[in-house]
Structure 1
Amino acid sequence: MNLIFSSPQRMRRLPLALAAFALSMAAGAVQAQAAAPADSTMVKLIRGLIQSGALNKDAGEALLAQAQSEALAAAQARPAAAPAALAQVQPGDVRVPYLSHTVREQIRDEIKGQVLAEAKAGGWAAPNETPAWTKRIRVEGDVRARYESRYYDMANSNIEIDWRSLNSGSGYDVNSNTNLALPALLNTREDRKHLLRARARLGILADISDSTQAGIRLASGNDDSPVSTTQTLGGGLGKKNIWLDQAWLSYQPASWLKLTAGRFDNPFVSGDELFSSELNFDGIAAKLQQPVGESKDVTVFGTLGLIPLEYSSDNAPSRSQAKMSSENKWLLGAQVGASWKINSDHQLRGALAYYNFRNISGEYSQPCALYAGADGCSTDWSRPSSMQKGNSLMLLRNIALNPLDPANTPQPQFVGLASKFRLANLNARWDSKVAGGTDLRIEGDYVRNMAYDKSAMWARAKGGIMNNFGGTGGVSQADFRSGGNAYMLQATLGKANTQARGDWNVLLGYKRIEPDALPDAYNDSTFHLGGTNARGYYLGGAYALDKNTWLNGRWTSSREVFGSALSIDTLQIELNARF
């Protein structure tokens, strides 16, 4: 006897696999009445499932053979169906033959396994599941809106040269017979109030495997300065610039070692009087970190960095058949340190680093006859590509005079760094809890330029040193003022990182950076508006308005260490959000 289902239109709306499973289960419920024609509907169903790929071919053929065998056995064991029973079958009804318990279990397991495998691969096995590749990708970023005002003392010197602008052109003609114009000068007396500025950064991080990661980050910024991604608004409502801020790959061959290559965040522990918090490094870095002892309260760490600062041009001089040799500039850095969790309320961290800035000092050139069409001078490459202000500077070009008119020979000059830089850096931080559990962080950073040598600088500058003289107006070696030390001290009460709603902090700090303690291109661009030859204090605070949303403000007051008066105060109020 066949089991008859009416409403076949409803059955056809079900997926093929689920229909077969439901039909087989219904047939099992009436197995005592089942009959099997020679070419039953179930045989046709199994064949259809094999052809559509819903059933594995080998398993399907085995099921097909068993279904045919059981159908034949059932036909031989029972008499033919009564004509009256056959007469009850209506056109369009579905006949379901009897399936044994074993066959039904095999069909169910096969279909269930294949459907679940497809669901898992496609990410629709559960309502909250997503495709596997999305779990390896993370998006993060931050947005900052800033109000800023800068205040200058009217007693400031008004002849502070913009050396970066001078170096970016074709040179400033120092011959007063052929050039009466002043070089580009910095604003030192006129306040700049009510500046609205913004910063936006967007990064994508990818977990390629358990040991390999990659990251890309885009950022805003007025220019290609290495120390700031802040964009001044306005400009006729024109669109703003977007820069490649980071692009790196990292590989972690062991739990204690991580290798990173590309353009990445600062791998060293340092204060921002040395390296700006927004500074990224190019090159290769290896970071080591390992807990020691049974309690693992002490962790030792170290960093090695090979950082290319600048490569010489492939085609310099551009209008000469003879090209210059390779003159590349590098930063080689090494740091060791340890952190000690004294108890739940106190933690101490210290680090000692050495930074060797290779080939970044200025060099006085061979005689160059620019008047006769020479394409630059032999040491033009030694002028720094990035500058803020403060370092002692020397003239680079040894310009030959036209023998037919020496007094009226133009002398376009560039400037370079007069000092060499090999820095020893000591950094320390103490975190504790006071006043009923309030966080307190005290940190300090000290830098000593081991290569600082006042006499050697003066001897190197055969064309003369151009800045950092005393206030008497003299420009001799006796009037030259500089130094090779820098330090920073800062105390922060409250949460150092305001993340949860209601988090707050207040901070107070002091910095002193002598002119040649470190290269002026890479430190904080807010204090003294960047660079060296600066000293002063700063204070500020922050309050979290919501999760990962906080308001903060800072007042900075600074002035020169040596030389001409330059006093600058800066007010910044910011609304920040991270995601």
Structure 2
Amino acid sequence: MISNVNRLSLAVGMVIATLVGQAAAAPAPSENATINLIRLLVEQGILKQDKADALIAQAQNEAAQAKQAAASTAVAAGPVAAPGDVRVQYVPAAVRDQIRDQVKAEVMATAKQENWAAPNTFPDWASRISFDGDIRLRDESRYYSGSNSNEIVDFARLNNNGPYDVNPNSSTALPPLLNTREDRTNLFRLRARLGMKAEISPEWTAGIRIGTGSDNNPVSTTQNLGGGFAKKDIWLDQGYLTWKPSDELTLTGGRFGNPFMSTDMLYSNDLNFDGVAAIFDHKLNRDWGVFGTVGAFPVDYTSDTTTSNGFDKEESDNKWLYGAQVGAKWAINSNNRLKGALAYYRFEDIQGQRSSPCEPWAGAPGCDSDGTRAAFMQKGNSVFLLRDITPNPLNPTTTPQPQFVGLASEFNLLDLNLVWDADLPADFKLRSQGNYIHNLGYDEGDMRKRSAGQLVNNLDSSGNIESGANAWMVQFTLGNALDLKKQGDWNLFAGYKYIQPDALPDGFNDSSFHLGGTNAKGYILGGNYGLAKNVYATGRWMSTEAVYGAPFDIDVLQLEINTRF
């Protein structure tokens, strides 16, 4: 039995031999060679009988006409060809074209039906889905100064595990404290992410990405290994729907990557945004382009059941982030490119509120401002005690004071970013990057009023606020490649950051520099080297200290192998 592939080869070979009119080694074809060919194609299942009959009729008619024309030509031309000459059967052009088209159509139809002409193809939906991902292996060591204060409260854990009784007369337990003196070396850590994108239509795209993570914090998908070889958690890292009505406008909703031009001083590189965003990008001419982003992002919702065992529920006090950014790109010349953007971010109702007088010691399930505490914190922001607890008149000095803390400052940020890429001689490339942030919402008078005198950190010995509204960073990257893609690519980088306590919310920035948060300053040194295509090694050293308050110095060493696919 002839295979499908052999059938195709035989049919195509026969058609080519006939159509181009080449002579074969066999005796000269008879006058009905074309008809014989058509019948053979029918026997092989290449042509259907009804279509073959039409071709045979047309071939006979045109062959008769050609024979008559040939006879007339022979009379006019003179002697007949000598013995031994090869005579080639004439096939009319119309018949050749019809045979070609019919054979092609029949063969392709059979190939698609039986899936043998292209065995590696997939259904249409599969061609519209793509996957990408990355894996990072990291060895991290943290070194603390022996002169650090060992009385720095971990307010993030206090809120998560609290409330904590702050009355020393009724509580003998210490509040949760940060580790500030004991080194942690050779922490083996993993980040693994896998994403899928589906092109629903030319204008619509859906995406999903899963990732690792030691917990559900928003700023890191890094997973600590160990733990008795226990299995690791997988989280929904992204899930979004994108509509692109034109080449210049993109609208995205769901959970997606950072849509703004920013640095990790404000938003961690692992941070994803929940909400909606519109991104505009327009090229003015060969050298200039403009871009912009606007978005609305819910940070936290008031629970419908808070307090769960109380008759009175808390009023809705949802927290939002609203952002708007405009920027420009300028190709100064063939060797220099400049990109800059100015953004405004308004964090609506993220600050805490002092509660109405409440009596948790008498069985009250909570106080009416408990929901205003931050959903996630790292460290550095000024905080105050949220609850206004009425003392028990029978035991006023020993009345328990179980407390949560809230952010003392409002956060309305101006964010300026500049990036200058330069191509240097000897194939060197230099990137110079600067970022300045100012919190327009910072006001010490409002902070004291909001906290009702219950600020618990960022105070000097006289009770004055030690904080500020500014943050800035500079960083330089030099090498033969700024974005490593192949073996032998390399670069070195150096930078400095200075972040005052209330310049920005401490819950969303890089979790490595000073181990996250604000009230930190220090430098960063490191380098990258390409080991293979899409595989590179990174070494990074960060040396930081507190801007204000008690001594708190942290050095972090990170050694990594990064891959992407």
Q: Hey, what's the Cα distance between the residues in 1 that align with 2:512 and 2:133?
A: 22
Map 1:122-271 onto structure 2 (within 5 A): 125-126=117-118, 129-271=121-263
Distance 1:32 1:119, change over 3 A: closer
User: Percent same amino acid at aligned positions?
Assistant: 50
Distance 1:216 1:19, change over 3 A: closer
| Letter in structure 2 aligned against 1:204 | M
Correspondence for 2:469 among 484, 488, 507: 484
Secondary structure of 1:133's aligned partner = helix
Correspondence for 1:405 among 392, 395, 400: 395
Secondary structure of 1:407's aligned partner = helix
Partner of 2:380: 390
Partner of 1:91: none
Q: Hey, what's the Cα distance between the residues in 1 that align with 2:474 and 2:381?
A: 22
Secondary structure of 2:156's aligned partner = helix
Distance 1:63 1:286, change over 3 A: same
Q: Hey, what's the Cα distance between the residues in 2 that align with 1:398 and 1:14?
A: 85
Q: Hey, what's the Cα distance between the residues in 2 that align with 1:400 and 1:548?
A: 61
Secondary structure of 2:358's aligned partner = coil
Q: Confirm or deny: 8 A CA contact 2:59 2:95 kept in the other structure.
A: no
| Letter in structure 2 aligned against 1:545 | L
Q: Hey, what's the Cα distance between the residues in 1 that align with 2:34 and 2:288?
A: 76
Q: Confirm or deny: 8 A CA contact 1:258 1:286 kept in the other structure.
A: yes
Q: Confirm or deny: 8 A CA contact 1:123 1:131 kept in the other structure.
A: no
Partner of 2:77: none
RMSD: 3.3
| Letter in structure 1 aligned against 2:519 | N
| Letter in structure 2 aligned against 1:564 | A
Secondary structure of 1:262's aligned partner = strand
Q: Hey, what's the Cα distance between the residues in 1 that align with 2:96 and 2:494?
A: 77
Partner of 1:282: 274
Q: Confirm or deny: 8 A CA contact 2:380 2:517 kept in the other structure.
A: yes
Partner of 1:508: 494
Q: Hey, what's the Cα distance between the residues in 2 that align with 1:482 and 1:421?
A: 14
Aligned: 1:356 with 2:346: yes
Q: Hey, what's the Cα distance between the residues in 2 that align with 1:514 and 1:414?
A: 23
Secondary structure of 1:436's aligned partner = helix
Q: Hey, what's the Cα distance between the residues in 2 that align with 1:351 and 1:163?
A: 34
Residue 371 (structure 1) shift: 2.5
Residue 206 (structure 1) shift: 1.8
Stretch of structure 1 that moved more, 365-374 or 226-235: 365-374
Aligned residues: 522
Partner of 1:517: 503
Aligned: 1:549 with 2:516: no
Q: Hey, what's the Cα distance between the residues in 2 that align with 1:319 and 1:521?
A: 29
| Letter in structure 2 aligned against 1:290 | H
Q: Confirm or deny: 8 A CA contact 1:63 1:103 kept in the other structure.
A: no
Distance 1:124 1:361, change over 3 A: farther
Q: Confirm or deny: 8 A CA contact 2:385 2:455 kept in the other structure.
A: yes
Aligned: 1:340 with 2:330: yes
Q: Hey, what's the Cα distance between the residues in 2 that align with 1:115 and 1:576?
A: 48
Residue 69 (structure 1) shift: 13
Distance 1:301 1:118, change over 3 A: farther
Distance 1:379 1:118, change over 3 A: farther
Residue 502 (structure 1) shift: 0.7
Residue 278 (structure 1) shift: 1.2
Partner of 2:71: none
Residue 108 (structure 1) shift: 7.1
Stretch of structure 1 that moved more, 554-563 or 456-465: 456-465
Partner of 1:315: 305
Residue 178 (structure 1) shift: 1.9
Could you list the per-position Cα deviations for residues 319-365 of structure 1 after superposition, in whole angstroms to 9, with x for gaps in the alignment? 12332222111000000000101111100111000000001000000
Q: Hey, what's the Cα distance between the residues in 2 that align with 1:371 and 1:156?
A: 36
Could you list the per-position Cα deviations for residues 244-294 of structure 1 after superposition, in whole angstroms to 9, with x for gaps in the alignment? 11111111111110011111110111121111111111110100000113x
Residue 121 (structure 1) shift: 7.7
Residue 463 (structure 1) shift: 5.2
Secondary structure of 1:276's aligned partner = coil
Unaligned regions of 5+ residues in structure 1, if any? Answer: 1-9, 37-41, 72-99
Q: Confirm or deny: 8 A CA contact 2:137 2:190 kept in the other structure.
A: yes
| Letter in structure 1 aligned against 2:527 | G
Aligned: 1:420 with 2:395: no
Could you list the per-position Cα deviations for residues 354-382 of structure 1 after superposition, in whole angstroms to 9, with x for gaps in the alignment? 00000100000011121332221111110
Q: Confirm or deny: 8 A CA contact 1:398 1:463 kept in the other structure.
A: no
Distance 1:103 1:439, change over 3 A: closer
Correspondence for 1:526 among 512, 534, 537: 512
Distance 1:402 1:134, change over 3 A: same
Residue 400 (structure 1) shift: 2.2
| Letter in structure 2 aligned against 1:566 | F
Map 1:447-462 onto structure 2 (within 5 A): 447-462=437-452
Distance 1:121 1:411, change over 3 A: farther
Residue 401 (structure 1) shift: 2.5
Distance 1:301 1:104, change over 3 A: closer
| Letter in structure 1 aligned against 2:467 | S
Residue 118 (structure 1) shift: 5.4
Q: Confirm or deny: 8 A CA contact 2:34 2:59 kept in the other structure.
A: no
Residue 119 (structure 1) shift: 3.6
Q: Hey, what's the Cα distance between the residues in 2 that align with 1:205 and 1:164?
A: 35
Partner of 2:83: none
Partner of 2:265: 273
Correspondence for 1:443 among 433, 443, 453: 433
Q: Confirm or deny: 8 A CA contact 1:389 1:532 kept in the other structure.
A: yes
Unaligned regions of 5+ residues in structure 2, if any? Answer: 20-28, 61-90
Partner of 1:370: 360
Distance 1:67 1:513, change over 3 A: same
Q: TM-score, normalised by structure 1?
A: 0.82
